[in-house]
Structure 1
Amino acid sequence: MDIARDATLHQRILNELESQIVSGAWPPGHRLPFEVDLAKQYGCSRMTVNKVMTQLAKAGLIERRKKSGSFVTQPQAQSAVLEIHDIKTEVASLKLAYSYALLATTEREADIEDRRRLDLEKPGPVLEVRCMHLAAGDPFCLEERLINLEVVPDARHADFSNVAPGPWLLERAPWTAAQHQIQAVGADRETAKLLKLKPETACLVIERRTWNTFGPVTHVRFTYPGTRHRVVADFQPSSSQPR
């Protein structure tokens, strides 16, 4: 057995299959060639191909289904817990075409729920913006945002049909403090319809509230289908933590 040759061939097969997936040549749902066919194609043992497929599965690039074969998985975007990120950048990192659609805007006097979400001490005017972010034409994230018009009055006249409110706010109302809340929820009927899911499908919901020196700026709720997003965080031990 030529161990060096097998190792080199293993890496070659891995690189070529991974390239087909990452480049989008094999889109999500595409069935990969069967192991026996790949073994013939590369002139190697089926064991070598099996090891490659196992590695791709562990990396989350493919899903192996008993008796059906191996399929390219739906890619997952990931974001740092404390990062104020742009969803367009998330979609671009998946090598998918980004698009955006404004669903509705409503200006009103803040009700009790609005005040709770924005952490307002007293009533005031707010703007509610609902929009959908899409990846390759499919719903990627539902955005539901409240903007405090006393702190950001220009939002009243903004054209959110062409630009998402997140990037617009970052340019005009820089934040000085932020608070995040992350939870898993089952999609209600309306959310499921917008995201093209079955009701009660597991979703990842990220809520964020930001402030600047003038007061609360915005509260936003991002709802992602649970299979299309994950959250990551880096930690360092505090100086007082036992070593």
Structure 2
Amino acid sequence: MATEESQDIVPTLSLHQRILGDIEQNILTGRWPPGHKVPSEQQLAEDYACSRMTVNKVLTQLAQAGLVQRRRRVGSVVLPQRAQSAILEIYDIREEVKALRRGYRYEILSRSLREADKAERRLMDIDARQKIADITCLHFAGGKPFCLEQRLINLSTVPEAAEEEFKTLSPGPWLLDHVPWSAAEHTIAARGADDLAARHLGLVPGAPVMVVERQTWRLEKSVTRVRLTYPGESHILTARFTPAQAQ
């Protein structure tokens, strides 16, 4: 049965974060294409009822991340985004199971909101006392355990995740629908199942498993870190890619 804990304090977006998120989403979704002129500092300050200093800090951060170029007397314009090539895409486990023509369901095993510990702060590059959502769920294919998902979500980047119970949509696709990401990192390893994975995947401890660890960022702030554990004999990774373009 799923368990859930709640906190009295739910993180809220600062005005800086809201302006940054709005502009970033316009760029990453293509709503503002390369060459699009970003509204002036004065216009943004009026739109958000804030100081020009706040807007200036936002545009400076976007420029440092390579999303806009600031030009004197012209203003800020959207830059072309460099193509990202990766062996693995960020995929929806539900669609992966459906592609195998097997019935899919998932179950939340635990969900809590808590402060990140020292190791988690180091891995996700977050501050002390930062709140995270800690979610464990199990994905099934044809009634059999298919993947154990252990996920941490940075609530300073995704505060709305504090209220989300993930009853109808698992955390992965929910994040893809709600939070644009700008960078991702994968690590893939063949390992022996630990006690938690063995118990939920129906394996003996030490049995071969494939572990995919992934972290995503929104600009320079971490969004989520997830560990996906698959029974070793039942999962295959296939990727198609082309040679990188000469620069």
TM-score of the two chains, using structure 2 as the length reference: 0.62
After TM superposition, give the deviation of residue 230 of structure 1 in Å.
Answer: 1.6
* Cross-structure match for 2:215: 209
Which segments of 5 or more consecutive residues in structure 1 lack a partner in the other structure? 1-79
Render the CA deviation track for 1:93-121: whole Å, top value 9, x for unaligned.
Answer: 11000001000011111111211332325
1:85 to 91, 98, 101: 91
Aligned mates of 2:199, 2:87 — CA distance in 1: 27
Render the CA deviation track for 1:143-201: whole Å, top value 9, x for unaligned.
Answer: 00000000101100102132200111111111111000000110012210100011111
AA in 2 matched with 1:188: D
3-state DSSP of counterpart to 1:91? helix
* Cross-structure match for 1:131: 137
Q: Compared with structure 1, are the counterparts of its residues 102 and 176 closer, same or farther at alpha carbon in structure 2 (3 Å cutoff)?
A: same
2:102 to 73, 96, 108: 96
* Cross-structure match for 1:60: none
What pairs with 1:144-163 in structure 2 (closer than 5 Å)?
144-163=150-169
Aligned mates of 1:179, 1:83 — CA distance in 2: 10
* Cross-structure match for 1:15: none
Q: Larger Cα Rg: Structure 1 or Structure 2?
A: 1
AA in 2 matched with 1:126: I
Aligned mates of 2:115, 2:220 — CA distance in 1: 19
* Cross-structure match for 1:116: 122
* Cross-structure match for 2:177: 171
Render the CA deviation track for 1:37-92: whole Å, top value 9, x for unaligned.
Answer: xxxxxxxxxxxxxxxxxxxxxxxxxxxxxxxxxxxxxxxxxxx8320100000100
* Cross-structure match for 2:201: 195
**What's the Cα RMSD here?**
1.7
What pairs with 1:5-44 in structure 2 (closer than 5 Å)?
none
After TM superposition, give the deviation of residue 214 of structure 1 in Å.
Answer: 6.2
Q: Any conservation in 1 of the 2:183–2:219 contact (CA below 8 Å)?
A: no
* Cross-structure match for 2:238: 232
After TM superposition, give the deviation of residue 122 of structure 1 in Å.
Answer: 4.4
Aligned mates of 1:224, 1:81 — CA distance in 2: 18
AA in 2 matched with 1:82: L
2:224 to 218, 222, 225: 218
TM-score of the two chains, using structure 1 as the length reference: 0.62
* Cross-structure match for 2:146: 140
Which segments of 5 or more consecutive residues in structure 2 lack a partner in the other structure? 1-85
AA in 2 matched with 1:146: L
